[in-house]
Structure 1
Amino acid sequence: MTLLRHARLLLLGSLLVATPLLAGQALAEATPPRELHVQAEDTLAVVPDRATLNARLWERTPAVSQEDESGGDPQALREARERLEERAGELIRTLEAAGLERDAISAGSLAVQPEHVAGSRREDGEREVRVRTRLERPFRVQVDDLEQLPGLLDALTEAGVNALDGVTYDLADRDAATDEALVKALEKARHKARLMADTLGITLGPVASVSETRSPVFQPRMLAMAADAREGAPQAEYRPGTIDIEAGVSVSWEIE
């Protein structure tokens, strides 16, 4: 009986010692770590260093009656295409003479589409419907030196393009710009955290978590214009302005 009683006392003592330890561990696990959460957004304004010009050339065949079952004159279609190809070649030579490399000039595929035009009135008072064919080729010109832009726009209009669809300003290194925007957002988050810690009299520990709330997105800037944009302005200025890249982050620091 003495040995059994001694064993019971030892077991009871062990339980009394272990219970506070287990309770303290459970309390520590139930208490969330103290953290400072900060969200920050920043915008990077960058000046474009590249531009893309979009232009179109087209030719049309003579309009024929819609009731003409022949579908138009094959000879007229062939002549319109020859005129278009001749103008396209002249456009490329004009751009090269203006200082552009051939690799920077991209000529798109030939597009052929019918166009309906109103003709003269018939005896019954109805207006005749006539059909012609339009042959079109788009051109894309990449400009890596923005100082060339005014001269190239002049060259396009002098070459007789039918439409200038505008200028798209871009960056040669988009990744570097988006990285810089993200760095600015992170630096702003760190500044806010330090300011809050100093004001509240707390000490920041290591970073507990970090995530993006707004991924940096680069959107090229489009400048629309008409084919006659240079009329009345022999030396017009084309200012690219700036492109805004926004980034946002959420960062948490442990509080010591």
Structure 2
Amino acid sequence: MRPRFSPIFRQHASLMRATLLAAGLVAGLSAALPVQAQATPAASITMEGQGSVSVSPDMAVITARVVSTAKTADAALSENSAALSRIIAAVKKQEIEPRDIRTSGFGIFPRYKTASSSSGGQPAIVGYEVRNGIEVNVREIGKLGDLLTLVVNNGANSVDGIRFEVSDPDEKLDEARKKAVEDARHKAEVFAKAAGVDLGGIVSIAETGTQMPRPVMMRTEAKALLSSNPVPVETGEQTIGANVTIQWALK
């Protein structure tokens, strides 16, 4: 004879079966999910390195100009062109390549007389001024002094300036970059040794700045160059630099 249970007992039994089933499902799902380990940050060291190279400018750019005035634009232009042609011919005789010679700054300008009451307040044109310039790349600094005197003696009456430059700045910058990396590694090795660890592989490396040489300007009056003696020239030194930041893993 099967035992008979009260309705209240049967209701509690059903609730218990449902609770046990839910607990079993949760346990099964937890077992199926992968266990995620807590990520532990790897030990590392970050250092900044600096490198620089001192260089002497090895080329210069001369900017000279011929300024001619005359009563007519035609006459001023003719005089100006003749003087500039003499300068170019003289420069070429100094074994300066055509690619290093270029004209620049050509212009024709009217010259006015101050207005008077008799002219009705309108300024009158009394002549014309023609300007034309020449830029010469001097790749042998030793020729610079002679060339400055040469262009003035052949008709240049305005020397706008002399610009000193480095002909291969990118190569010198690469040298500075190598020194910056060496500097950063040296610092990292000192710290790692002091801490009793070894450097591992590089995690990241980034260039954080560069220093390029700026053109050095030298200005002088054309009259000061009217001499048979070459102009004394001192180029001085400039600095090319690089900064780098490198991160290493620590073993």
The number of equivalent residue pairs is 224
Structure 1 equivalent of residue 42 of structure 2: 33
**Shift of residue 37 of structure 1?**
0.7
Structure 1 equivalent of residue 173 of structure 2: 178
2:221 counterpart SS class? coil
Question: Deviations along 1:43-75, whole A, 9 cap, x unmatched?
Answer: 22111221111111121233xxxxxxxxxxxxx
The question of whether the paired residues in 1 share the 8 Å contact of 2:109 and 2:128 is answered with: yes
Structure 2 equivalent of residue 47 of structure 1: 56
Structure of higher CA gyration radius: 2
Q: Classify 1:223/1:184 alpha carbon distance in 2 versus 1 (closer, same or farther; 3 Å).
A: farther
Find the aligned partners of 1:109 and 1:92 in 2 and give their Cα distance: 15
- One-letter amino acid of the structure 2 residue matched with residue 100 of structure 1: I
Out of 187, 190, 195, the residue aligned to residue 195 of structure 1 is 190
Find the aligned partners of 2:213 and 2:35 in 1 and give their Cα distance: 54
Q: Classify 1:199/1:133 alpha carbon distance in 2 versus 1 (closer, same or farther; 3 Å).
A: farther
1:144 aligns with 2:152: no
**Shift of residue 100 of structure 1?**
2.6
1:238 counterpart SS class? coil
Find the aligned partners of 1:234 and 1:182 in 2 and give their Cα distance: 42
Find the aligned partners of 2:151 and 2:175 in 1 and give their Cα distance: 36
1:208 aligns with 2:210: no
Q: Which runs of 5+ in 1 are unaligned?
A: 1-7, 63-75
TM-score in terms of structure 1 length: 0.75
Q: Which runs of 5+ in 2 are unaligned?
A: 1-23
Question: Deviations along 1:172-224, whole A, 9 cap, x unmatched?
Answer: 22221121121121111111111222233221111110001103534333222
Structure 2 equivalent of residue 238 of structure 1: 233
1:113 aligns with 2:109: yes
TM-score in terms of structure 2 length: 0.76
Out of 96, 102, 105, the residue aligned to residue 100 of structure 1 is 96
Question: Deviations along 1:75-105, whole A, 9 cap, x unmatched?
Answer: x111111111111111112222334333322
Q: Classify 1:112/1:232 alpha carbon distance in 2 versus 1 (closer, same or farther; 3 Å).
A: closer
